[in-house]
Structure 1
Amino acid sequence: MDIEKLKFPIGKFEKPTALTKDILNRWISDISTFPKRLLNEVINLTDEQLDTPYRPDGWTIRQVIHHCADSHMNSLTRLKLALTEDQPTIKPYFEERWAELIDTKSMPIQPSLKMIEGIHERWTVLLNNLTDEQYGRIFIHPEHGKTYRVEENIGVYAWHCNHHLAHITETKKRNNWN
């Protein structure tokens, strides 16, 4: 199978030319429903299945789940910084290094599933109550050398949820796991 398709089973994030309320609502729904959708896909996986990489030289499903908890925790913090500070510069982190830490490589997934559930519950409350002005607030990402509007970052993380969920669902399909 094509390595790019394995890396990006739903494609790369593409920002729409115009962001409508319908698009934002769909993105918020994707973020809101992610914990349940993820749980449904991973709850019955064995340790052997969880320790299966989703692609050659890629993370295991276990690492993907823990990565989602780490990444979404950071995204919620970035949102709160953007909402409470004037154009804050966020702190990037080395996700590939975090993925190699012992908690990510070998811990059971339940703590991260709980984190994701709580993070997404709080995140969704904020997202569902943003004003038009708050959608336009920005933060600066020094690693990427650009500014992100809150509304764009909602799309990035809706994509992120679906992207990593597809890593799991596609791995299950390829391996004929129920």
Structure 2
Amino acid sequence: MNLQKLKFPIGEFETPNTISTKELENWIATITNFPKEVETITSNLTIQQLNWLYRPKGWNIKQVVHHCSDSHINAFMRFKLALTEENPTIKPYAEDVWANLVDGSNDDISHSMMILKAIHYKWSLILNAMTNEDWERTYFHPESKKSFQLKEVASLYAWHCNHHLAHIKQALAYKNQFEE
């Protein structure tokens, strides 16, 4: 079994060289539809299934859902900062540590789903209202020591949505083959 393929079932993120209006529209649609897709996949899962891992020593389904809630809160805030400040420095966070906090390992994913729905609704409003100039705005990531344009970030988070949807589907396909 290829661990790299299990970690990155849709491949690793690659920043596009050029970004078209059509690509931005597709990424916005992916971000907009993400909560509904997660809800569709997870709504009838048992607690046992929510604890299935997508790879050896990886997160379980509930941690993936909680992580997406945390991650996308941060993404939404980063967009708002970039739209209202000049190249703000964003704050990184330890996502692996967050995933092991009590709220990241809770068997009840309903609250993270509520957050995802609310954040993605608000985020979609902003994404759909952005001008060409807005898409050029940037934020600075101190770990990368680099500024990122919001159009690049939209690409990253559309990938992030698809990446974690694939993890959930993978965990369900392997049916607890990767016990802790």
What band does the TM-score fall into relative to the shorter chain? over 0.9
TM-score by length of 2: 0.95
Is residue 76 of structure 2 the alignment partner of residue 81 of structure 1?
no
Aligned to 2:148, what secondary structure does the other structure show?
strand
Give the corresponding residue for 2:108.
Answer: 108
Q: State the identity %.
A: 48
**One-letter amino acid of the structure 2 residue matched with residue 44 of structure 1:** N
Aligned to 1:128, what secondary structure does the other structure show?
helix
**One-letter amino acid of the structure 1 residue matched with residue 91 of structure 2:** K
User: How far is the alpha carbon of 1:107 from its aligned partner?
Assistant: 4.1
Aligned residues: 176
- Where do 4+ consecutive residues of structure 1 move more than 6 Å? none
**One-letter amino acid of the structure 1 residue matched with residue 35 of structure 2:** P
Counterparts of 1:157 and 1:72 in 2: how far apart (Å)? 8
The 5-angstrom pairing of residues 18-167 of structure 1 reads 18-167=18-167
Aligned to 1:97, what secondary structure does the other structure show?
helix
Give the corresponding residue for 2:6.
Answer: 6
C-alpha root-mean-square deviation of aligned residues, in Å?
1.0
Counterparts of 1:16 and 1:81 in 2: how far apart (Å)? 23
Counterparts of 1:107 and 1:126 in 2: how far apart (Å)? 31
**Contact persistence 2:6–2:54 (CA under 8 A):** yes
Counterparts of 2:23 and 2:30 in 1: how far apart (Å)? 11
TM-score by length of 1: 0.96
Aligned to 2:105, what secondary structure does the other structure show?
helix
User: How far is the alpha carbon of 1:90 from its aligned partner?
Assistant: 0.4
**Contact persistence 2:47–2:107 (CA under 8 A):** no
Moved more, 100-109 or 29-38: 100-109
Counterparts of 1:172 and 1:105 in 2: how far apart (Å)? 18
Which sections of structure 2, spanning at least 5 residues, go unmatched?
A: none
- For residues 26-77 of structure 1, the C-alpha deviation after alignment (integer angstroms, 9 at most, x for no partner) is 0000000001011000111110111111111111111000000000000000
Counterparts of 1:139 and 1:156 in 2: how far apart (Å)? 14
Counterparts of 1:137 and 1:8 in 2: how far apart (Å)? 29
**One-letter amino acid of the structure 1 residue matched with residue 62 of structure 2:** R
**Contact persistence 2:52–2:175 (CA under 8 A):** no
